[in-house]
Chains A and B, each alone.
Chain A
Amino acid sequence: MPGEPAKRQKREEYKKALTSDEQNAALPKKKFYRQRAHANPFSDHALTYPKSPADMGWASLYPAYAVKNGEEGKAENESHDQTEEEQRRAKAIMKNVEIADIGCGFGGLLFALAPKFPDTLMLGMEIRISVTEYVVDKIRALRTQHASTSAYQNISCLRANTMKFLPNFFSKHQLSKIFLCFPDPHFKQRKHKARIVSYTLNSEYAFVLRPGGIVYTITDVQDLHEWMVEHFERHPSFERVGEEEQEADECVRVMKSETEEGKKVERNGGTKFVALYRRVEDPPWP
């Protein structure tokens, strides 16, 4: 493809310049991170993911919340090989991630929510490498800019295929909110299984959500909206949140106005369809 090597070279130079100077608090430029809007959730990719939630190294994503090992502990560690348990402790953080933005894109929602829930850890998950890098670079820049107030320490982003590996990251009932904003509509009928919402995948959202937790969905594609509503309605672990409560929810306002797609739809004069679902308690065994 002509033009491709030049583009790649420019991107590489740009990213090198960005990382070489740690003090560089300049926000990353989106044009160097653009990537085609679709990814195949069924292919293997070269993904990294933890073996289990207990193996996840959260400390590197949220350094301000990392559990600091005392000097005493350190001296002890040197005397013998680190056991698996000790390695896990080194990865530990003081609190668990509670909000997941699945398919976070360029992270608009995360950046808007960060100051609104300053004590809650939030994670953006995105399947496209470049887009993930943009969010990671932007978080780093914002953290540097706000070093004095410790803002933006509560958000992070990683590359993941959540349709396959969500339970590798979060344990049972860990999350209070999941956002599914402007997901890929996968118009073709034979691609419907690739949609981020389906009856069978909803079981995984129910697994990682605590009872009372909420799934937020928004799209400008009516067909997809109806699909999501239908699949959540069918799933006994979810009930729809009433309109009044929905419109009073601050997150809904942010989701409509702060996401990149939300803004685009606004410019186009399109319609935004919102649906919220609350995870109900599991019924007793039959």
Chain B
Amino acid sequence: MMLPYQCIIAACDRYEAGGNEWILFGVSGSRLVAQSSTGATSIWPAEEHPIEEPSPENEEQEPPEKRVKLSPPLEQKSNFSILRLSNDKKYLVAVTAEDKCIRVFRVDSEGRLQQLIQRCMTRRPCSIALTSDDSTVLCADKFGDVYALPLLPSPEDDQISTPPSEKIEQKKFVPSASLLTVHSGRNRKVLEEQMKQAEKGPSQSKETPKFKHDLLLGHVSMLTDIAYAAVDSRSYIITADRDEHIRISRGPPQAHIIEGFCYGHEEFVSRLCLTSSGRLVSGGGDAHLYVWDWSSYQLLETLPIRDTVLDYYRGHSQLALLLPQDTQAFKTAVCGIWTVPYGGSEGDEVLVACEGVPAIVSFKLGSSATIGTVLPLAGNALDVAFIYARGSSCTAVVSIDHLHRPGSTTEIREDEAMSRLQCFAYQQDGQWAEDGSIVEALEWFNRRAAGEPEAGSDGRAGGGDTVDEKATRDILYGMEKLRKRPGAED
């Protein structure tokens, strides 16, 4: 079975001398795939040299591996969840979900990938960003914290300084309270357990990573996205969480200072996008996207994503069947916002994807359009990357879910062997038109790369290696889970 590309990203320099060269990267399950405009291709981990999955025992005793494994042991099983390119396009930073690992790859001109370092965090990274000088990876995690890691550790970073709080925790065990402390019944029980534990010897403190990682800031909520912005000489970290917050903090080394919040969302925020002109577009479980002048925390406009999708569904008999009887109950969960990189003066435009929706929606900012423009797709939209194929035109490569029925995140479709990519070229008239030539050029990437030959074509387990339906769903879809359910416990 061939998995869709859950993430794609392109390295492309519009003004590169000698033409428009690009490299497209994609992750399909646990495989990282690259194809360049020159036709060069690569897959990581290479079939014959899969890397070892870091085992928890190893982590406790020794720092994570810093060199590329040469011996081919167990197959790496963690699925990729995030892809980012450094600003100089020389490094690819990828996150694998299950092992919570941040991996840095060197990208050569042929698109070949060499893993330089992998660092496993204690909490699952939800989003990462790079500072504009490419020196630092900012990692936002499920527990609400943001850590700074050097992109590539310097030798000094190896002499790890444990943060003071962790030092204290590693001291000899002392019960947290005396008998004179006022207790609730529960606290007394905890204390008694601690006393018992103390007799058995020091408790096993949870392993903390041995590599350099500095805590910058934190929310008491799951973080969903992080962005780094530099304006003049000032830098900012923008973080979004499941509790409707968008927080603006100063960049390092003053990341402990909160400058302000962009208030307005009433549902979870899932994606942040800085446009070429510096606006912030945010989206999530709300019916609208919000466009911000984030440096003054002012809401500039709202974009009706839900109504645009609803309109599109109503116009298609197949999709209209998916609508709930009461269309008020129809909700969208934004899973991607991308700024279109014209590099020109045409103004800001964003492309938006919603979870389980077979379309990309385009909004032109400041146009006060009541509805977005829909680009219908043959499968649910997963990710978008931009390349410049020829001249000044820009092509959006969209990865689509070819396994599930369009509009559904659970039902498997019957027609197989569909394309995993669709491409749209930006036209002179400001519209997008399907572009078959790029899809053709990406034939290998689209149809062949990272298939699992040992699995039967009927999708059932061939070598015990096939990813089952539930696991596939977990790789591709998770946004709607962020929505709070009414009547939760009190």
A269 B180 Cβ-Cβ under 8 A: yes
Determine which residue in A36, A129, A164, A269 has the highest number of CB atoms from chain B within 10 A of its CB, and name it.
A164
B residues less than 8 Å from A206 (CB atoms): 256-258
B residues less than 8 Å from A189 (CB atoms): 169, 203, 205-206
B484 A270 Cβ-Cβ under 8 A: no
A204 CA / B215 CA spacing, docked (Å): 15
B residues less than 8 Å from A45 (CB atoms): 488-490
Task: Choose, from A58-66, A96-104, A105-113, A218-226, the stretch at the interface.
Answer: A218-226
* Interface check A203, CB cutoff 8 A: yes
| Interface residue from A187, A188, A271 paired with B180 (Cβ < 8 Å) | A271
B residues less than 8 Å from A223 (CB atoms): 174-177
A residues less than 8 Å from B203 (CB atoms): 189
A172 CA / B263 CA spacing, docked (Å): 13
A residues less than 8 Å from B490 (CB atoms): 45-46, 129
A202 CA / B257 CA spacing, docked (Å): 10
Chain B contacts with A in 346-371, Cβ cutoff 8 A: none
B220 A163 Cβ-Cβ under 8 A: yes
* Interface check B184, CB cutoff 8 A: yes
A42 CA / B221 CA spacing, docked (Å): 7
B250 A285 Cβ-Cβ under 8 A: yes
B256 A237 Cβ-Cβ under 8 A: yes
Determine which residue in B175, B203, B254 has the highest number of CB atoms from chain A within 10 A of its CB, and name it.
B254
CB-CB contacts of A255-286 with B at 8 A, as 1s and 0s?
00000010011001111000000000011011
Task: Choose, from B14-22, B86-94, B187-195, the stretch at the interface.
Answer: B187-195
A37 B486 Cβ-Cβ under 8 A: no
CB-CB contacts of A197-211 with B at 8 A, as 1s and 0s?
011111110110000
B230 to A: closest C-beta gap in Å: 12
* Interface check B159, CB cutoff 8 A: no
* Interface check B217, CB cutoff 8 A: yes
A184 to B: closest C-beta gap in Å: 8
B253 A286 Cβ-Cβ under 8 A: yes
A51 B264 Cβ-Cβ under 8 A: yes
A residues less than 8 Å from B219 (CB atoms): 164, 200
A164 B488 Cβ-Cβ under 8 A: no
CB-CB contacts of B200-215 with A at 8 A, as 1s and 0s?
0001011000000001
A52 CA / B299 CA spacing, docked (Å): 13
B263 A37 Cβ-Cβ under 8 A: no
Chain A contacts with B in 159-190, Cβ cutoff 8 A: 163-165, 167-168, 172, 182, 185, 187-190
* Interface check A38, CB cutoff 8 A: yes
What is the interface of chain B mostly: helix, strand, loop, or mixed? loop
A206 to B: closest C-beta gap in Å: 7
Given contacts A187-B190, A221-B176, A283-B254, contact A167 B261 (CB under 8 A): yes
A268 B258 Cβ-Cβ under 8 A: no
* Interface check B178, CB cutoff 8 A: yes
* Interface check B58, CB cutoff 8 A: no
| Interface residue from A38, A46, A52, A226 paired with B186 (Cβ < 8 Å) | A38
A286 B254 Cβ-Cβ under 8 A: yes
A154 to B: closest C-beta gap in Å: 27
* Interface check B463, CB cutoff 8 A: no
A residues less than 8 Å from B168 (CB atoms): 226, 230
* Interface check B71, CB cutoff 8 A: no
A residues less than 8 Å from B266 (CB atoms): 51
* Interface check A236, CB cutoff 8 A: yes
A165 CA / B244 CA spacing, docked (Å): 10
B484 A44 Cβ-Cβ under 8 A: yes
A172 CA / B247 CA spacing, docked (Å): 12
Given contacts A51-B264, A189-B203, A189-B205, 17 further A-B contacts (CB under 8 A): A46-B486, A52-B263, A163-B220, A164-B219, A164-B221, A185-B177, A187-B177, A189-B206, A199-B215, A202-B256, A220-B180, A222-B178, A230-B164, A230-B168, A231-B165, A268-B181, A268-B182
- By a beta-carbon cutoff of 8 Å, the part of chain B in contact with chain A is 143-145, 164-165, 168-169, 174-178, 180-182, 184, 186-187, 190-191, 194, 203, 205-206, 215, 217-221, 233-234, 243-245, 247, 249-250, 253-254, 256-258, 260-261, 263-264, 266, 484-490
Can you list 23 contacts pairing A with B, beta carbon distance less than 8 Å? A36-B184, A43-B488, A43-B489, A46-B486, A163-B220, A164-B219, A182-B182, A187-B187, A188-B190, A202-B256, A203-B217, A203-B218, A203-B257, A206-B256, A221-B176, A221-B181, A226-B168, A230-B164, A230-B165, A230-B168, A235-B256, A268-B180, A270-B180
